[in-house]
């Protein structure tokens, strides 16, 4: 889970990952990101689940989550 907390709000993203070869982790299902966020279009319309999934997958790819996974795995 990747999350951000402020005084008033919490936002989180959750996805499954797997080690695809030694030292390399990847998202199991790039379209399967779970979140408590609601994404809206430029016009202010709530995006559908498939539309949101595309944006969420792109967001996860920009996060340094693989480094955090390896840090946690190596400490275990």
Domain ranges within the chain, ordered by starting residue: 36-76
Buried b / exposed e across 45-68, counting CB within 10 Å, b at 16+? eeeeeeebbeebbeebeeeebeee
pLDDT greater than 70 at residue 29: yes
pTM as predicted: 0.78
**Residue 8 in contact with residue 16, Cβ under 8 Å?**
no
How far apart CA 72 and CA 76 sit, in angstroms, is 6
Q: Residue 6 has what pLDDT?
A: 87
pLDDT greater than 80 at residue 76: no
Confidence of residue 42 (pLDDT cuts 50, 70, 90): very high
Q: Residue 26 has what pLDDT?
A: 93
């Amino acid at each position: 889970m990747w999350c951000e907390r402020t005084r008033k709000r919490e936002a989180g993203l959750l996805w499954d990952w797997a080690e695809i070869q030694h030292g390399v982790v990847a998202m199991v299902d790039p379209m399967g990101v779970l979140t408590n966020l609601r994404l809206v279009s430029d016009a202010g319309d709530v995006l559908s689940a498939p539309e949101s999934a595309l944006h969420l997958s792109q967001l996860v790819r920009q996060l340094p989550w693989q480094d955090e996974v390896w840090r946690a795995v190596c400490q275990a």
